[in-house]
Chains A and B, each alone.
Chain A
Amino acid sequence: MAEADARPPQAGEPISEQEALRRLRQSEDSSQQYYGAWWLGRMRSQHPEAVPLLQQALRQRRPRDSGAGVEENAVARNAARALGKLAPAAQAAIPDLLDTLQDADDKLREAAARALGELAASEAIEALCQRLASGPTVAGAQQANSTRLVEPCEALLKALGDIGVNEPRVLAVVKPFLAHERPVIRSAAARTLLQLSGEACWGELLVDLLDHPQLPVRRAALMDLGTAGWRPGFKAIAATRAENSLKLMALRGLVEQGNGDPGDEALLACMDLLL
């Protein structure tokens, strides 16, 4: 079933799994590889060739194919994203993703970190912590000629939360980012601490961000509360000045990821009112 949500860069006719594998396997046209990798992740392909081909594509760095309309490392980035979506079948690719976490391209590190989180790869904890260890003023500093940070902090922090191993060394690395100048990074750090410890203070911090004057921050805090499934936040979520679509996604997270009070019936009643 083809849904039109994430838009492929090379939109065209719907393709088959065999065609997606063929496009990824060839190496003449990197825009075709880009689309093939995206397709396999989007359709959650179970084909035995999918993961090995994506691992191979992940190693394909900097093709410098000027004129094909594909940015450098774009194929590798899409391969990393697809491997994350194929979790848990993509366990075999964890060592490749760990290598990728050391790449010079921060966008590629970002894609690798997200995939490692989706794979719940506890092997990645050490490397993720190392990337963040220099804290918000070094790893979290803005790059000289870009608005991006030195490290893809949001993805690195969230991966630690998704992996979900509550250890003092992880908490020690994450906590300083609660003081990052960007509220979206503070939100990511609070979400991770909430996932790891379940302590209400981190949920309350996210609820405070739901009242931030900037809409993108309120949206980020909504998604972070939903991912962490923090049920006590349900009324604050419903009252946030943001689109009902996002509030419904966040409340779905509370129903599916959370437990305890309030129970399902109160959460579902809250969702009904937002339709």
Chain B
Amino acid sequence: MSQVSPVAARIAALQQAGSALALLQATQELASCADASAAPVLVEVLGFNNPGAAVAAVNGLISLGTAAVEALLQLDPDNYGARAWAVRALAGIGDVRGLELLLDALGSDVAASVRRAAAKGLGQLQLGALAEAEQHQVRQRCLAALLAATADGEWVVRYAVAVGLESLAEGLSPDATELQQARNGLVTLSEATEDTPPVVQRRAKLALSRLEPQ
């Protein structure tokens, strides 16, 4: 008797889901398998226009980590809805292969929810495996994108930029020139202006206080 693996059975269940609720449940089950072979199917779910299932799929993809990245990058770039969810997944995973997609999303996505996820994600890319020169180059690009986004029209994106700048700066040595640039961006966000709500100012001030030399 041939044994069907639990992942294969759950993939089959997902593909046969006949209602939004069934799809949600099947996605949750598949996401909980923690098995890399689920990644392409979870990525497919991102394009089904079912927000509940997409949230479950994003969480599953983030918990798969780097094993999910290849499937995420193969996503159809013309499926806007799926791409927005993929940005969130890549931001959560922090794999440097997501860099281009995150930069593009922060700079030009129409949805504030996608830009805010990208801003947070650009601050927390895992660069440890890269050579020093390459690390420097990637950080420069993240920093430039985040600094440009301190002028984003939506408060929530500027809030996420403060979070991104703080986590980017945490990984820098105390004498890095980027550290001062990140601080300058946070100072801009912490200043009271007509367009900057108190919550953004307070988040930027908190980041600055945490970055103070001990």
Nearest CB of chain A from residue B187's CB, rounded to whole Å? 18
Cα–Cα distance between A63 and B105 once the two chains are bound (Å): 46
Cross-chain contact of A264 among B112, B113, B197, B206 (Cβ < 8 A): B206
Chain B residues within 8 Å of A255, by CB: 198-199, 202
Taking a contact as CB atoms under 8 Å apart, the answer to whether A275 and B203 are in contact is: no
B202 — which chain A residues lie within 8 A by C-beta?
255, 264, 268
- Contact at B116–A268, with CB atoms within 8 Å? no
- Cα(A243)–Cα(B85), bound, Å: 13
B151-165: CB near A (< 8 Å → 1, else 0) gives 001011001100100
Residues of B within 8 A of A1 (CB): 153, 195
Q: Does any Cβ of B come within 8 Å of A208's Cβ?
A: no
Q: Among B51, B160, B197, B206, which residue has its beta carbon within 8 angstroms of that of A256?
A: B197
CB pair A245 B113 closer than 8 Å: yes
User: With A264-B206, A265-B206 in contact, do A275 and B116 touch (Cβ < 8 Å)?
Assistant: yes
CB of A25 within 8 A of chain B? Answer: no
Q: Are B199 and A252 in contact (CB under 8 A)?
A: yes
Question: Does B117 sit within 8 A of A, measured CB to CB?
Answer: yes
Output the nearest chain B residue to A268 by Cβ-Cβ distance: B203
A275 to B160, CA, bound (A): 7
Contact assessment for B117 and A275 in the assembled complex, using a CB-CB cutoff below 8 Å: yes
Q: Which residues of A contact B183 (CB under 8 A)?
A: none
Number of interface residues of A (CB under 8 A): 17
Contact A245 B163, beta carbon cutoff 8 Å:
no
Chain B residues near A120 (CB, 8 Å)?
A: none
Measured between C-beta atoms, what is the minimum distance from B51 to chain A in Å?
Answer: 8
Contacting residues of chain B (94-135) with chain A, CB-CB under 8 angstroms: 112-113, 116-117, 119-120
How many residues of chain B are within 8 Å of chain A by beta carbon? Answer: 21
**A98 touches B (CB below 8 Å):** no
A255–B119 alpha-carbon span in the complex (Å): 21
| Nearest residue, chain A, Cβ from B205 | A264
Minimum distance in angstroms from B61 CB to a CB of chain A? 16
Q: A244 and B113: CB pair below 8 A?
A: yes
Inter-chain contacts of A265 with B (CB < 8 A)? 206
B206 engages A245 (CB within 8 Å)? no
Query: Which residue in B52, B156, B195 is a CB contact (below 8 Å) of A248?
Result: B156
Write out the residue numbers on chain B whose beta carbons fall within 8 Å of the beta carbon of A272: 120, 163
Instruction: Annotate B17-39 by CB proximity to A: 1 below 8 A, 0 otherwise.
Output: 00000000000000000000000
A1, closest chain B residue (CB): B153
Bound: A271/B163 CA distance, A? 10
CA distance A244 to B113 in the complex (A): 8
- In the bound complex, CA of A268 to CA of B160 (Å): 11
Report Cα–Cα, A245/B199, bound state, in Å: 15
Q: Does A3 contact B (CB under 8 A)?
A: yes
The 8 closest A-B pairs by CB, nearest first: A275-B120, A252-B199, A255-B199, A275-B160, A3-B153, A256-B198, A275-B116, A245-B113
* B residues at A contact (CB < 8 Å): 51-52, 112-113, 116-117, 119-120, 153, 155-156, 159-160, 163, 195, 197-199, 202-203, 206
14 A-B residue contacts at CB 8 Å?
A1-B195, A241-B52, A245-B112, A245-B113, A248-B156, A248-B159, A252-B197, A255-B198, A256-B198, A264-B202, A268-B199, A268-B206, A271-B159, A275-B117
Give 18 new A-B contacts, CB below 8 A, not counting A255-B198, A275-B119.
A3-B153, A241-B52, A243-B51, A243-B113, A244-B113, A245-B112, A245-B113, A245-B156, A248-B159, A252-B199, A255-B199, A256-B198, A268-B203, A268-B206, A272-B120, A275-B117, A275-B156, A275-B159
